[in-house]
Amino acid sequence: MGRVDAKSSSFRRQLNRRRTTMFGGFGTTELIIILVLAFMIFGVGKLPQVAKMLGSGVNSFRKGLNGEDEDESEEPKKKEPELLEEDKSAKPAATEQQRQAERSESW
């Protein structure tokens, strides 16, 4: 049973080492230093804009890896509002016909 305890304690140490390091070697202290430097370089006002641009770049990169084209994803979005506009223009005509039918029935 002595060997099992030695293995489990070494396994626990390895788990603790993995938990203390974040993002492949960057610990909490390193990440705080990076954030402070980012605030100093970009300023508090522009940092959200930089993060937004970085996020959109990552999203477009992922779409590129998946093989999705921006043109293909935009076309269905453009067609749907056109159909909705056609439906809206058709509805007043239908309601007008219903009004005329109701008027003719009342005579």
- Per domain, the residue ranges of the chain are 44-68
The pLDDT, as a whole number, for residue 53 is 92
Predicted confidence band of residue 98 (pLDDT cuts 50, 70, 90): confident
Sign of CA dihedral 66, 69, 72, 76: positive
The pLDDT, as a whole number, for residue 92 is 61
Helices (H) and strands (E) in the chain, counts: 3, 0
Looking at per-residue confidence, does 69 or 31 come out higher? Answer: 31
Look up the pTM and report it: 0.35
The pLDDT, as a whole number, for residue 11 is 73
Looking at per-residue confidence, does 60 or 92 come out higher? Answer: 60
Residue indicated by tokens 């005509």: 93
H/E stretch holding 58 reads: helix 28-66
**Residue pLDDT, tens place only, 42-90:** 888 888 888 899 999 999 999 998 887 655 555 555 555 555 555 555 5
Rg of the chain in Å (alpha carbons): 31
User: Residue 26 in 3-state DSSP?
Assistant: strand
